[in-house]
Structure 1
C-alpha cells in the first residue's frame, strides 16, 4: 500500500505540492505569527522594564498645587517648577528624606527672574567723524523686541592721546563723553532656582560644590568692595548654566559726518585746548548741540546686526568691543554694573481650552508681549537705602539633556527642548520675564538663599527616587505606589512619574500661531502595557481561530477531492477501512513532510522558541482532526427537485463552504486586528516611549497581518482549484454548446464573487460588532473595515490564476 501511496503522490505532483504548501503554511506561518505576537508582548514588557523609569520615581508638591492642565489632560509642561510659589519647608523636606525607602529626595524652589552683572561694549574710534546709532533687542527666535530706546552718539576724532572726542547725551542721563566710547548692555532677567547641592548631585550627577565658594577669594575682591559700599547685604551665590545664552542683539548703523570739532567746541564755549568732557555741566548748551548734530546729514551709511548672545551669560556677562573692521570680540576694562537686587516673579500660564486645542493668550501687550502676570520685586542699588541682597556668580555647571531617553521624569528646571512653530522655526525664551516658552533654570543657588527670597516655605517640589529598584517591573511599581500612598496621606500632592514619557504637545499661541512643545505624560507606561496586552490577547485568539478554521477547510477540500476516487476503489473491491487507511496514510506522509520542512524553517528563524512546541501541537492536532474528518461518514442525499435559486452555489456548497469559512475568519481577523493595532499605535505615537515600542513591534504586527493574507490566498487557490476540478465536465459541456472561454470565466467569476461577498460581509458584521464591544473609536473601525476589503481582490486573482492553470 505504501508503494501505491507514494506512486499516487508522485503522479499528482502539482496537487501534492499544493497540499504540502498548504500544510506547511499551517505548521510554519501560524506558529511563526503566534511567536511574533508573543515576542511583541515581551518586547513591550522589556522596554517598559528597561526604559520605563527616568531620573526619579515620585514628584511631590504642596497640596493644591496641581494645575488645571494636569487635571484636565494629565500632562505637565517642561520646566514645570518655574514660577512656583513654594509651600514646603526645609524641615519638612528633611523629614521626607529620612524615609528608609527613599534613596534620594531632591528639593527645588523657583525664586524668580534675576539679573547678573551687566557688561558693556566699546564702539570703535574711526579716522573720520561719524554718527553711531544703535538699538539693543532681544528675540524669541521669530521676532525682535527692542530693549530700551534707540541711542545716537556723535564721534569727532582721536587726535589727543587717550581721549576720544565724542558727544552722547542719553535722555534722562548725564552727559557721557571723554576717554572711551562704551555702551552698557540693558539688564536681562533669567530664571533662578534653589537646590540642595548634595541630593541634586545624586539625582543628576552634576557637581554643585562651587556654591560653597569662599567670599574672601581674591577673585571676588571687586564684588566685596562694591558690597561694602552698601553695608554688606546678604549674598546669593549663583552657579550659572554654561550652555544657556543671553538673547541680546545689537543693531548698529554708522554714517560718515562732515563736521568740525572746533566749531562745536565754540558752540559749547570751550577753547581748542579743552576737551568736550569739560562741557559736562552745560546742560542747555549740550542739549542744543546734540539736537543740531543729530540733524547733520550723513553719508556712506553701513548697517550691522551683532548677535551678542554668544558672549553673554545670564549672571556673568563678558565685556566686548567692536573692532575697526566691525567684528565683535571680548575686551578688558569695560564697565560693569552690580545692580542685581531687583528681580521679577511670574504667575503660571493660564492655559485655555477651545475644544481639544490648548490656547495661550497674551496677558499684556508689549515688546515683547507677556503671557504671564509679572510682578517686580526687590530694589535697585540706586533706589533704596537698604539693599535686600546681591547676586554673585561663583561658577558654572553643565546640564546636558540625555538624548534618546524614552522615559520622562521631568526634573522641572533643566529642559532645553526646542519649541517650534508650524513652519519648523525654533522659539526661545526672551531676556524679559513673561515668555510662554518654558524657561530652563539659568542658574542655581542654595535653599538658604531660597528662604531669604521666599520665606520659610520656599520649596516648590521634591523629586524622589525609591531605594533598591533595578528595573521597572511589577514589584517596583508596587513599592513606588506604597511610598506614594504614604506621602499622599501626609497631605502632599503626589504624582508617580516613573513610567511617564515625552509628548509633542500642540499649542495655539496668540500672536504666533500653532507651536509644538515637548510635554510629559503621566503614567503612560501602565497605559501602554494595558493597551498592548489587549492587542496581544485579541491577536492570539483571532490567529488561533483562523488557524483552526483554515485547517478544517483544508481537510474538507481534500475529502471532497477524494470522493470520486474512493467510490472507484470501493467498486473494485476495496473495503471502507482499507480506503480510509490509504487516504489517511497519504495525508500523514504529506503532513509529515510539511511539518519537517516547517520545523527546519522555524529553526532558522528561532534557535529556541515555543514556536517548535506550537508547530508540534498543530501537527498532532492536525493528524487527529484529519482522521476524524476522513473517517466521518456522510449520508448521501438524493434530491427530487432542482434548486430554484443559486443552483450552482448550493450544489457545490460542500466545496465552497470551507473557503467561505476561511474568508469569513480572515475578514473578521483583519478588520479587528488592523483597527486595534491602529488604535494602539495612534495612542502610543504621542510619546517617545510609545514611538519606540511602535518601531520595535510594528514589523511583527504587519508580518502577522501578511501571514493572514497569505494563508487566505493559499486557501482560496485550493478552494477554487477544487471547485474547477469538480466542475470540469460542466465547463467542457458549456464549451461544447458554444460558450467561449471568456463567457465561462465571467459566469464562474460572478458565482465566486457572490459567495465571496457573502462571506466577507458576514466577517465585516462580526468584526465590527466585536470592535463596538471593545469600544474601539469609530475612525479605527472604519480603517479596519477598509483594510479588510483587501479580501475582495484575493478571490478575483485566485480565480484568474486557477482558471489559467486549468486552461494550460
Structure 2
C-alpha cells in the first residue's frame, strides 16, 4: 500500500502539489493567525492595564444629577460641575471618607460667576489730529472670542480733545439743581434731562460752551471724557490725575467680564492630583482657615484666601476701536448727541492691539501685591445644565436659552458684553451675601498663590475622567469646514455663563470658606473617590471598586458612577450660530464612556474564539473539496481495485493515507515557514507553536479525507466501471439562449458536483461576511473612545489577513471545482464541438456554469454569513445588509473570473483523442 501511495503521488504530481499547496496555505494561516490572536490578546491586555485608570475611580454626585442622555448612552458628560451648585452635605462627604478601601475622597463645590471690572488704558495717540483746535473721538470696546468668530462691540464712549481751556464740575453732588465748578462758581445744568452737569469749554471770545456729550441710555448714560491738549503736546485728564499731563491719549477704558470660583478641600486635592506641588507662586491653601482676614484696601473688606490658575484657558480678547468723528460738538446742537455717539461719520479709524481679557483685568497678578479680585458677595451668576435635542443619527443639538445678560438686575452698570451672546444655559443671579449677612461689597478674594494645571499629577489622556476644575472640555471641528473656521484649534470657552462650555474656575478657595460665605448646609457639588489597592484592570480590582461604590450608595443615597476603566468618547455636537457673528459649528466633544476597558477585554476574547473556529472550519471545507476532487478523478481506478478484492477498509486506508501523508509533509513545511511569516506581520509565533502545524495539518487532512474516501469505497464496482456519464442532448441550438439553457441543465444534471462547487464558494463568502461582522462588531465595541481607537489600530492587521486568507481559500476551491469539471467532461465538450458548436459557444457554456455556481454559492454563503453575523453582532443593521450584498456580488464576480482558467484549457483539449476515448 505504501508503494501505491507514493506511486499515486508521483503519477498525479499536479493534483498532489495542488493539495499540498492548499494544506500549506491553510495551515500557515491557521498557525500564524492563532498566534496573532494570542498576541492581540496580550497586546490588548497590556494596553488596558496601562490605560485603565483616570484621576479617580468613582464619582459621587447629588441625587438626580444623572441625565437621561447619560443613562441611555452610558456616558458622563463634560462640564457636569458647571451646572451643579451644592447638593452634598459635609457630613455625607465625611461619611464617604470612612468607607472601607476609600483612599481619597476629594470634594468640589461651586460658587458661581462673579462679575468683575477694571480699568485698562489703550493708546489712541496716533488718532489725534494735533492741528485741530477741537476734535471728537468715538471709542468702543470690542470683544473677540471663539477663535475670532465672535466679535462683540460695546456701545460707544466719547472722548473730546480740545486746545481751549475748560472748567470742570467738582465731584460734589448738586444742590438745588446747581453744580459747583472748579473756578468756585456754581451753575445750573444746561443739558437735557439725564445728562450730568457738563464740562464748560471757554472760547477765544470768553464765552463758555457747555459740552453736553454723553454715551449710553437711561440711568446708564455716561458723560464724555474731556481731555485738554496743551501747547507742549501733553494731554490733561480730569481731576483724578491733577498735575500729571501725559504725552499719550490713553483714556482709561472700563473692562468688564466675569470669573468663576470653586472650593476644594486642600488636603484631599493634594492627595488626588498633587495640587500643592503645582504651585508656581505664593503659598498653598490652608485647610483649617474658614473665612478670611480683614485688611485695608480702598476701605475695610473681608478678604478670603484663594489660589488662582496661571492658565485661565479662556479664549477672550478685548481691544478698542476708535474713530475720529466729523462733527463740531461745541456748537451746542444738543439734538445731534445720539448721532455723534453712534452714527456720525468718521474721518479716521484706529484699532488698538488686542489683549487677553484676563490680563486686562490683572486677575492673575504674581508680583506679590495684594489684589482685590472682586466683590464675591455682590451678584453671583449661576448657569444651568445644557439640554439637548437628539437627531436620528445621534447628533446632539443644544437647546437655546435666554441670554445671561437678561438675568442682570443691577440698577447701575451693564452686564459684561459677552453675557448678551447666544445662550445654551439658563443663568440665574443670586446674592450670596444675603445668607452670610455681610455687606454687598464686603468680601473679596486675596490671591495668596497661583498654580499651573500642567504641573498636576500626570494624567492619562486615554483614560482621563472629567477634571473641569483644571481643564476645559475639548471641542474640535467635526468637519473640514469647521476645522478651517477654527484654524485647526479647539474651540475654547469664554466668560459667558450662558455659553456651551465653561472655563475652569479662575480661583479656588477652601471648602470651609465656601460654607462660611454662602451659609449653605450642602455646599459640595461632587466628590471624586480613588480606591485603595487597585494594581491593574483585573477582576479583583473591578470587584473592589464595585463594592466601594455600592457601600457609598447605601450609606449616602447619592448618585454613584464607577469611572474605573472609562475613556473619553467623541460625541458630535452642533452649536447654533452666535449673536455676534459665530456661524453654526459641528463639533466633536469628548464625553466619558464608562466601562470601556471591560468592554474591550470581553470583545477581544470573543473575537479570538470566533476567529479561531472560523479559520479552522474554512480550512477543513477547502480540504474536503480538494480531496473529493482527487477521489472523483480516480473513481475507475478505485473500482478496479475493488474488483480485484480490496476491502472497503483497505480502500479507505489507501485514500486517507495519501491525504495524511500530504498533510504531514505540508505541516512540516508550514512549521518552517510560519515563524518568518509571523515576524513579517509583527507576530511572534515561536517554534513551539509552529511545530503544532505538523499534527494540525495531519489531523485536518485526515478528517477532510475520511468522508470522501468512505463515500468512494461504498460505490458498486461494476456500476462505476460501466458509468460513462456522457448522456448529453445536443439538439439545443448554440445561440446565447441555447447555451444558457444547456448550462442550467448541466448544473441540475449533476447536483452533487454543483453542490460541491457552491459549498466551496459559499464557505468563502460566508467566512468573509462573518469576518467582516466580527471586525466591525469588535471595532464598534472598542471604538467610540480614545482608548478603544488606540487598541483597534493595533489588532486590525490580523483581521485583514484573516479576511484575505478566507477569500483566497474559497477562490482556490472554486477554481479547483471548475477545473475538475473540465477534465471530467472533456469528452462531452468534444462531442459538442464535433456536432457544430463553435469554440466561443463552448467557452460561454463553461463560463455560464461558473457564473451559475457563483450565483448559487454566493447567495447561499452571503445569506448564511449574514445570519451568523447578525447573531454574533446582536443586531441586523443596514450596514451589515449592504456588506452582505456587496460580498455576494463579489463572490459572483470571483466565480466568473475563476471560470476563465478552465475556459483557457479548452483550447488544449484534443478533439479526436477525446472522442476516441469515449
Using structure 2 for the length normalisation, give the TM-score: 0.73
Q: Distance in 2 between matches of 1:124 and 1:380?
A: 40
Q: Which residue is 1:779 aligned to? A: 878
Q: Distance in 1 between matches of 2:647 and 2:384?
A: 94
Give the conservation status (yes or no) of the 8 Å contact 1:112–1:192: yes
Higher relative contact order by CA 8 Å / sep ≥ 6: 1 or 2? 1
Give the conservation status (yes or no) of the 8 Å contact 1:191–1:442: yes
Give the conservation status (yes or no) of the 8 Å contact 1:28–1:601: yes
Give SS of 1:312's match: helix
- State the 1:711 CA deviation: 0.8
Q: Which residue is 1:306 aligned to? A: 353
Q: Which residue is 1:371 aligned to? A: 424
Q: Does 1:804 align with 2:851?
A: no
Give the conservation status (yes or no) of the 8 Å contact 2:104–2:530: yes
Q: Does 1:201 align with 2:264?
A: no
Q: Does 1:507 align with 2:605?
A: no
**Structure 2: runs of 5 or more not aligned:** 167-199, 202-210, 226-236, 239-244, 287-291, 406-419, 578-583, 679-683, 730-741, 909-918
- State the 1:479 CA deviation: 0.9
Q: Distance in 2 between matches of 1:35 and 1:795?
A: 31
Q: Distance in 1 between matches of 2:372 and 2:57?
A: 44
- State the 1:347 CA deviation: 1.8
Q: Distance in 2 between matches of 1:189 and 1:233?
A: 20
- Alpha-carbon distance change, 648 to 211 in structure 1, aligned in 2, over 3 angstroms: same
Q: Which residue is 2:522 aligned to? A: 457
Q: Distance in 2 between matches of 1:235 and 1:493?
A: 31
Q: Distance in 2 between matches of 1:26 and 1:658?
A: 19
Q: Distance in 1 between matches of 2:361 and 2:589?
A: 23
Q: Which residue is 2:512 aligned to? A: 448
Give SS of 1:661's match: helix
- Alpha-carbon distance change, 773 to 122 in structure 1, aligned in 2, over 3 angstroms: closer
Q: Distance in 2 between matches of 1:802 and 1:117?
A: 87
Q: Distance in 1 between matches of 2:297 and 2:38?
A: 70
Give SS of 1:153's match: strand
Deviations 1:651-677 (A, max 9, x none): 655544433322222222222332343
**1:544-563 to 2 correspondence within 5 Å?**
544-563=616-635
Q: More displaced, 305-314 or 496-505?
A: 305-314
Q: Distance in 1 between matches of 2:800 and 2:351?
A: 57
Q: Which of 590, 594, 603 lines up with 1:522 in the alignment?
A: 594
- Alpha-carbon distance change, 611 to 318 in structure 1, aligned in 2, over 3 angstroms: same
- Alpha-carbon distance change, 315 to 699 in structure 1, aligned in 2, over 3 angstroms: farther
Q: Does 1:350 align with 2:387?
A: yes
- State the 1:695 CA deviation: 1.4
Q: Which residue is 1:692 aligned to? A: 790
**1:34-73 to 2 correspondence within 5 Å?**
34-73=34-73
Give SS of 1:306's match: coil
Deviations 1:636-660 (A, max 9, x none): 3578997999653356555444333
Q: Which residue is 1:390 aligned to? A: 444
Give the conservation status (yes or no) of the 8 Å contact 1:86–1:109: yes
Q: Distance in 1 between matches of 2:340 and 2:700?
A: 103
Give the conservation status (yes or no) of the 8 Å contact 2:648–2:714: no
Q: Which residue is 1:624 aligned to? A: 702
Give SS of 2:255's match: coil
Give SS of 2:78's match: coil
RMSD: 4.2
Give the conservation status (yes or no) of the 8 Å contact 1:407–1:501: yes
- Alpha-carbon distance change, 294 to 407 in structure 1, aligned in 2, over 3 angstroms: closer
Q: Does 1:139 align with 2:145?
A: yes
- Alpha-carbon distance change, 795 to 314 in structure 1, aligned in 2, over 3 angstroms: farther
Q: Distance in 2 between matches of 1:475 and 1:314?
A: 52
Q: Distance in 1 between matches of 2:662 and 2:611?
A: 29
**1:472-483 to 2 correspondence within 5 Å?**
472-483=537-548
**Structure 1: runs of 5 or more not aligned:** 215-219, 268-284, 320-330
Q: Distance in 2 between matches of 1:563 and 1:410?
A: 72
Deviations 1:104-154 (A, max 9, x none): 211111211135673412424357346252223252346435364222213
Q: Distance in 1 between matches of 2:49 and 2:747?
A: 55
- How many residue pairs match? The answer is 761
- State the 1:434 CA deviation: 1.0
Q: Distance in 2 between matches of 1:577 and 1:737?
A: 44
- Alpha-carbon distance change, 515 to 579 in structure 1, aligned in 2, over 3 angstroms: closer
Q: Distance in 2 between matches of 1:486 and 1:213?
A: 31
Q: Does 1:428 align with 2:428?
A: no
Q: More displaced, 499-508 or 639-648?
A: 639-648
**1:319-718 to 2 correspondence within 5 Å?**
338-339=374-375, 341-342=377-378, 343-353=380-390, 355=392, 356-365=394-403, 367-378=420-431, 385-400=439-454, 405-420=461-476, 423-424=482-483, 425=486, 426-454=490-518, 455-490=520-555, 491-511=557-577, 512=584, 514-567=586-639, 586-604=658-676, 605=678, 606-608=684-686, 611-612=689-690, 615-625=693-703, 626=705, 629-630=708-709, 633-636=713-716, 648-649=746-747, 652-682=750-780, 684-718=782-816
Give the conservation status (yes or no) of the 8 Å contact 1:142–1:427: no
Deviations 1:321-379 (A, max 9, x none): xxxxxxxxxx9x9x998555433112222334455443322221463122222222348
- State the 1:612 CA deviation: 3.1
Q: Distance in 2 between matches of 1:767 and 1:213?
A: 64
- State the 1:471 CA deviation: 1.3
Give the conservation status (yes or no) of the 8 Å contact 2:61–2:558: yes
- State the 1:301 CA deviation: 1.5
Give the conservation status (yes or no) of the 8 Å contact 2:762–2:861: yes
- State the 1:563 CA deviation: 2.5
Q: Distance in 1 between matches of 2:382 and 2:362?
A: 17
Give SS of 1:83's match: coil
Using structure 1 for the length normalisation, give the TM-score: 0.82
Q: Which residue is 1:733 aligned to? A: 831
Q: Distance in 1 between matches of 2:628 and 2:844?
A: 26
Give SS of 2:296's match: helix
- Alpha-carbon distance change, 768 to 657 in structure 1, aligned in 2, over 3 angstroms: same
Q: Distance in 1 between matches of 2:3 and 2:43?
A: 50
Q: Which residue is 1:225 aligned to? A: 296
- Alpha-carbon distance change, 104 to 744 in structure 1, aligned in 2, over 3 angstroms: same
Give SS of 2:814's match: helix
Give the conservation status (yes or no) of the 8 Å contact 1:122–1:183: yes
Give the conservation status (yes or no) of the 8 Å contact 2:19–2:623: no
Give SS of 1:427's match: coil
Q: Distance in 2 between matches of 1:617 and 1:388?
A: 87
- Alpha-carbon distance change, 314 to 526 in structure 1, aligned in 2, over 3 angstroms: farther
- State the 1:446 CA deviation: 1.5
Q: Which of 892, 901, 906 lines up with 1:792 in the alignment?
A: 892
